[in-house]
Structure 1
Amino acid sequence: MANDVLKRRMGELDMTQEELAEKLNDAVHSLTGSHGKATARTVWNLQNRVEWPYTKIRMALEIVFGCPVEELGFTPRTVKSAETKDEEPVDRRNFGALAAGIALGAAAPGTLHRVGTSDVMRLHRKFAEIIAKDHRQGGRKPIEHQALGLAGEALGLLNAGSSSQRVKSLIYSTAASFTSSAMWAAIDGRRFEAAQRHFDRASSLAGMSGDQAIQFRIWSHAGTLYRHLARPADALAANDVARRLRVTRGDPLFAALGHARHAAIHGVPGDTRAIRRCMDLAEDAYTRSSAFEQDRPVWLTAFFDRAELHSLATAAYLAAHEYEDAEANAHQSLALLRAPLARSRAITTARLAHGHSWGRAI
């Protein structure tokens, strides 16, 4: 009974049996405070023998792959069946109590393990790696899956011990950040149904976090999602949620991105006047942003600059069939583009070629 789905998903992530075993152990640790006991043999059994893993392994698999285990090729059983000897049964109803007990036992006698800011930040540093991969490679499935796995790891911290309300908010913000990256990878890869699922989850997590910056990212991405689906009314409504957040009043750089993405959406129905108005607002906000000393999130500073402004203008004018304006903005974007942004360079180059060919045809 080979589980071809699990094997394929591991292949997409270029993950060996040993590497998955280690990730499962890390996930178990995030859930219980105690390192797991999975080995390469455990993974082989999951690939070839196990129809429905025990609860602890199921939850760890969901953290690593960022999806229900049913989507990994496992089938719930109706009767008790034999499992691998190196896995122990865990009743899901009692899992929370087990996790708390193990976490308590791992701490000093009489104390409860305390999850702090440093625990969250160690995980959040991986967010920069996801952002860098996205700008190098674009919307590949491995990026989407890795981001979802890291979101699961972040949420696992909620069960690893006690924490302050501030730390809980950071955990939700971190999980929302990773989920928003999965959403963006799915949008970029034209996997729109998956992107919608990630949006629903990410917006919920962001709401619990209270983090305005990540809420902006998620709703702005939703605007892009609906733009690609040729639903400009929904796209404008979603992007308006982002543009009206308090963070755009506190930092013009957010406002500039919101206005520029609004311009791109107006390109779908061909509203040239609205495109120019939004791009003027974006340029003005971007110019003012240089005077603000802000601690900005890595997802924003990694890509958003004047080159991206011109890239979004290119998308807007191209959609509106204003090919001369599209070509001019594409050339300006490519001249200003930073070297690491390989994905952006490829997209803008393709848009330039498209605008050039269509512009010459009319």
Structure 2
Amino acid sequence: MIEEEQKITDRRGETVEENRKKGILYIVVPCYNEEEALLPSAKSLLDKLDALRESGIVSDKSRIVFVDDGSRDKTWELITQLYHEHWEITGLRFAHNRGHQNAILAGMMYAKDYCDYTITIDADLQQDINALPLFIEEYENGSEVVFGVRNSRNTDGFFKRFSATVFYKVMRFMGANIYENSADYRLMSAKALDALSEYGEVNLFLRGIIPDIGLKSSVVHFDVFPRMQGESKYSLSKMMTLAADGVTSFSIKPIRMVFGMGILALLVGFGMVIHIVYEHYFGYTIDGWSSILMSIWVLGGAVLLSLGIIGEYVGRNYLETKRRPRYYFWDVLSHDNTQSEGGENL
């Protein structure tokens, strides 16, 4: 006699497979000065969410959460308009600009109390929203985190392609568990969000933190389209800051490399001492300014570089020890509860 297959059930008595079907999805959209792109993007996301609900893929309680990262244009006014016109819309507003990573985190931390899973996507919708069902399918198959990975970088310029390639290779060399060409287009389950909430870093690099959580994960590949409205708000300085956060948050290899450079410089110095003594007794002792200048420039540059790297780590430790809030909500517009305004920090 063949025994019936035993199914794993949750605390509500539902099988795990059934419980992951038609879950509550919260789409988190960070925004910074996106007045030109916001309304077209909101329409596309609302249409997509309607299609997912009608097809029975997501729950009717699913929402879209726009996080205004201290915009200086009319972004918040447009989010307020959308909130009053559509019950699916939630708006979160920072008191001032706190950065793209904090905006993503704020939206996810808000959503974790209401949703079964979140999907984060940029406000310009360069990332293909038609990949949303693929993310959800991976979640229904048991993945707690689904990473979005770009199919190609054809829409980027040469400098951005080159710098991104170098960045990912450096991060892998430093020991970070990061997917090459990954983006902040990802799905995270409520379980993964609870785990992420335990991470207290002020200097956030979510692309490195989330893989370190260690829950079951999978990958979805997607296309990236040219930006249709407005200009990219991710400047070179912001990309450099993100790269610095990534390197210093996940590796002490630069400090160890400085230590290795110091040993190498010491060995070279000993070698130069032996060379000078030899030349003094057996060779020519002609004073030369070139060798002195070379020594000054090389060793001086190495010292300054070493101090800069160490200083970067010391500075970031200083920021972490202050334990200041990552962000502060100036306004909250939500149909999830009765509170529509007020402040909240994290």
Q: When the two structures are superposed, what TM-score results if normalisation uses the length of structure 1?
A: 0.26
Q: Looking at CA atoms only, which structure, 1 or 2, has the larger radius of gyration?
A: 2
Q: When the two structures are superposed, what TM-score results if normalisation uses the length of structure 2?
A: 0.26
Normalized per residue, the structure richer in strand is 2
**Which structure has more RCO (C-alpha within 8 Å, separation ≥ 6)?**
2
